[in-house]
Amino acid sequence: MKRTYLYICLFAAASMFASCKKFLDEKPDKKLMVPTKIEDFQALLDNPIEMNLYSVLSGILSSDDYYQTSSDYNKLKDYEQNLYTWSKNSIPDMGPNDWATTYAQVYYANISLEGLAKIDRTGMNAAKWDNVKGSALLFRGRAFLEATTLWTRGYDNASATTDYGIPLTQTSDFNVKTTRPNLKETYEQIIKDLKASVPLLPAVPINNMRPSKPAAYGYLSRAYLSMRDYVNAGKYADSALRINSALTDYAPLQYIELYENPEIVMMFVADSMIDFKISEDFYDTYSANDNRKYLYFGENRDGTFYYSNVEQYTGYFTGIANDELYLTRAECFARAGSATDAMKDLNTLLKKRISPFTDLTATDAKAALKVILTERRKELLMRGTRWMDLKRLNKEPEFQETLTREAKGVTYTLPPNDPRYALPIPNKIVELAGIPQNIR
């Protein structure tokens, strides 16, 4: 089944899709037309094109990690221009897009969970059974979290029960009506899925495309960070790092390798051919002895700087890695008042990035927090976390930012906590599913 047809099927009214073909009719192996065995569902989740290499790009396009010259802007597709200028127009209704790919991953996970429920767990198949269920739960929880990052407003305890969340599709049945629960319920489901995956997953996966305990802990940490629950964000970052705390020394590298990098907890990639330019002012925040300055960036003929793709291809890493977890734990230590522990984590990371390196210091926890947030911005550039960080930090007056861009002679601004931080849902989904559109 083509992705465009799946995209409609996932959210359409039942009467319109009575004749919808089975989702798996075009699996590569025609012998597996309908999965029935544990191995079939594992293969379904091991499909890297659907599950790992179609991470969302809209948050990166909407954030302030990059800028576009007039020439660059004119080359963008219409929806890319809309995201760049925070327009009211949605991403395309048809064809591959972030909504379709995110909910395709949810669909694969639901197919696996439903199929596995029909297979008895025994002493002989327990390890395989657990891995499939844990993986499906993690993939679904992560997909919900990515959707929440894009299509909801920043989490606030005061409004979480009235702010819209995202559809929490937990069935492969197209006849089940799609709704938008509130934001509190949305995060509760994300956390429920991720927590349920932990005891089922291995501490060390066979490769970093597969889910693991550290990956589940990592996404729990990111979810709680998005909610500004810094106690739990730090707790789960620590849980992940207690299993795998590896950091890669950037000094000898020519490029950042992903697949066999021990620092990468779980691989997800967003693909784009856009020329992401980085401001000279931001480029200059990296010292001359900072190896990221040479691994992250390249210089164009006109003297502008571009973000250099990891591993020399067009994908941008958006998964979970230990550098993010060290930064999250450091931030949470600082917010808890422990400047010493916060700076210890930060320096542990920066020693692997800067050479020679002299430990950074902070006079108190408040000063430590400012340094850590600055370094988080530098380390996690183009990783898909900036849009989330902007939304959560805009809830704190001290860290609020107004974003400004220019395109075709027009200046666009995005104030803190603006409704446009919740991106528009594809119009066709709103129309067919009857769910509320985000205010723009």
- Mind listing the pLDDT tens digit for each residue in 145-189? 999 999 999 999 999 999 999 999 999 987 888 899 999 999 999
CATH, range 3-246+370-433: 1.25.40.390
Q: Is 354 helix (H, G, I), strand (E, B) or coil?
A: strand
Which H or E element spans position 331?
helix 322-335
Which H or E element spans position 58?
helix 58-62
Q: Which residue has the higher pLDDT, 91 or 181?
A: 181
Report how far residue 130's alpha carbon sits from residue 195's, in angstroms, rounded to the nearest whole number: 14
Cα→Cα distances 28→24, 45, 50, 139, 340, Å? 9, 14, 13, 21, 54
pLDDT at 260 over 80: yes
pLDDT at 14 over 50: no
pLDDT at 86 over 80: yes
318: pLDDT confidence band, cut at 50, 70 and 90?
A: very high
In single-letter form, the type of residue at position 323 comes to D
Is 419 within 8 Å of 154 (Cβ atoms)?
Answer: no
193: pLDDT confidence band, cut at 50, 70 and 90?
A: very high
269: pLDDT confidence band, cut at 50, 70 and 90?
A: very high
Q: Give CA angle at 223 (275, 210), nearest 5°.
A: 70
* pLDDT the model gives residue 11: 35
pLDDT at 265 over 80: yes
Report how far residue 195's alpha carbon sits from residue 192's, in angstroms, rounded to the nearest whole number: 5
Report how far residue 320's alpha carbon sits from residue 217's, in angstroms, rounded to the nearest whole number: 10
Report how far residue 140's alpha carbon sits from residue 155's, in angstroms, rounded to the nearest whole number: 20
Among residues 399, 287, 400, the alpha carbon closest in space to that of 354 is found at 287
What pTM value is reported for the model?
A: 0.92
Provide the sign of the torsion angle of the four alpha carbons 125, 131, 137, 140, taken in this order.
negative
Retrieve residue 254's tokens: 């020519």
* pLDDT the model gives residue 310: 62
Mean pLDDT across the stretch 227-235?
98
Is 153 within 8 Å of 387 (Cβ atoms)?
Answer: no
Mean pLDDT across the stretch 291-305?
93
Q: Which residue has the higher pLDDT, 389 or 23?
A: 389
* pLDDT the model gives residue 218: 98
* pLDDT the model gives residue 28: 40
pLDDT at 56 over 70: yes
* pLDDT the model gives residue 416: 98
Cα→Cα distances 114→38, 60, 83, 110, 139, Å? 11, 33, 36, 6, 14
* pLDDT the model gives residue 314: 59
pLDDT at 347 over 50: yes
In single-letter form, the type of residue at position 382 comes to M
Which H or E element spans position 320?
strand 320-321
31: pLDDT confidence band, cut at 50, 70 and 90?
A: very low
Buried b (16+ CB within 10 A) or exposed e, 252-262: eeeebebeebe
* pLDDT the model gives residue 311: 56
Is 182 within 8 Å of 214 (Cβ atoms)?
Answer: no
Q: Which residue has the higher pLDDT, 331 or 88?
A: 331
Residue 96 gets the label, from left (phi > 0), alpha (psi -120 to 50) or beta, of beta
pLDDT at 12 over 80: no
Residues contacting 152, CB < 8 A, separation 6+: 163, 164, 165, 166, 183, 186, 422
Q: Give CA angle at 393 (391, 397), nearest 5°.
A: 120
pLDDT at 24 over 50: no
Sole residue written with tokens 């990639």: 269
Mean pLDDT of the chain: 90
* pLDDT the model gives residue 10: 37
4: pLDDT confidence band, cut at 50, 70 and 90?
A: very low
* pLDDT the model gives residue 94: 72
Comparing 194-198, 315-319, 412-416, which segment has the lowest mean pLDDT? Answer: 315-319
271: pLDDT confidence band, cut at 50, 70 and 90?
A: confident
2: pLDDT confidence band, cut at 50, 70 and 90?
A: very low
Sole residue written with tokens 């065995």: 37
Report how far residue 153's alpha carbon sits from residue 69's, in angstroms, rounded to the nearest whole number: 29
Is 284 within 8 Å of 293 (Cβ atoms)?
Answer: no
Mean pLDDT across the stretch 212-236?
98
